[in-house]
């Protein structure tokens, strides 16, 4: 068993990880274990330094503590997801079903209790990395891929375009219309599960966020505004789509 694990450490992917946890003893113990398994762990105990550390390290994955003194992992994750799709596993010492639901909804890839063994956490890191680093198929056209069963959207290079649950539902609703406009009222009912009102901007905000994640700067939009009706999906930028 030890020989197999040693072989995996030598031949497997080296995961570059940023670990943010204000429990110094826990963080250092976990980092030591992960480093011994072939990971490269950069440990932080202060949320104020996270943005600079992420920019410098360019991690493959973020391990994020849920309870961080004056702030929460949920608040930090929400800010990160405004500009980054870096895979994220939330680590929590307090089991709160509502926190777990919210974290997954806004873009966490997994959530693990601190009582879990380091070996289990390592397995979850590897599982998340496999999902988020699926390579593009060799040969053939490079294209966007919409996986309805796994609720994933991948770019032509194979990387994951990280969408929240509601963003995926919104994209799927527009994609299913095959280029025809879909009204705001229909999108509100089918995606957000509430009646449409003129002052409710959820659909417009959702479309704006989708455009920001899909459309490269300066490119034509993939989601067209149809005046007086709603929106129409007109195609991914510079690539074909497979579904």
**CB hemisphere CA count around 139 (13 angstroms):** 0
Do 6 and 36 belong to one domain?
yes
- Measured CA to CA, the distance from residue 226 to residue 90 in angstroms comes to 39
Q: Are 232 and 224 in contact (CB under 8 A)?
A: yes
pLDDT value at residue 158: 78
Q: What angle do CA 238, 242, 243 make, to 5 degrees?
A: 140
- Measured CA to CA, the distance from residue 234 to residue 71 in angstroms comes to 40
Classify residue 201: in a domain, yes or no.
yes
Q: What is the pLDDT of residues 209-224, one digit of tens each?
A: 999 888 887 777 899 9
Do 128 and 149 belong to one domain?
no
Spans in the chain with pLDDT lower than 70 = 1-13, 133-142, 238-243
127 phi/psi in degrees, rounded to 5: -65, -45
pLDDT value at residue 106: 87
Classify residue 75: in a domain, yes or no.
yes
- Which CATH number goes with the domain that contains 167? 1.10.10.10
Six-digit token string for 5 = 């694990």
Q: What is the extent of the structural domain holding 168?
A: 144-242
pLDDT value at residue 121: 95
């Amino acid at each position: 068993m030890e020989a197999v694990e040693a072989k995996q450490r030598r031949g497997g992917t080296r995961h570059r990880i940023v670990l943010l946890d204000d429990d110094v003893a826990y963080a250092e113990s976990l980092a030591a274990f992960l480093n011994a398994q072939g990971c490269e762990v950069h440990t932080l105990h202060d949320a104020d330094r996270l943005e600079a550390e992420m920019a410098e390290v360019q991690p493959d994955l973020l391990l994020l503590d849920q309870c961080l003194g004056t702030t929460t992992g949920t608040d930090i994750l929400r800010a990160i997801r405004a500009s980054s799709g870096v895979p994220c596993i939330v680590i929590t010492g307090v089991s709160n079903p509502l926190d777990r639901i919210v974290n997954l909804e806004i873009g966490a890839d997994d959530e693990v209790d601190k009582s879990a063994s380091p070996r289990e956490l390592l397995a979850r890191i590897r599982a998340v990395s496999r999902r988020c680093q699926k390579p593009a198929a060799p040969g053939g056209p490079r294209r966007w891929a919409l996986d309805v069963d796994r609720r994933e959207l991948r770019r032509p290079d194979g990387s994951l375009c990280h969408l929240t649950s509601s963003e995926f539902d919104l994209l799927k609703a527009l994609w299913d219309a095959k280029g025809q406009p879909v009204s705001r009222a229909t999108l509100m009912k089918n995606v957000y599960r509430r009646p449409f009102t003129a002052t409710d901007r959820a659909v417009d905000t959702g479309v704006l966020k989708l455009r920001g994640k899909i459309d490269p700067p300066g490119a034509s939009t993939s989601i067209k505004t149809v005046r007086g009706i709603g929106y129409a999906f007109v195609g991914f930028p510079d690539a074909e789509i497979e579904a």
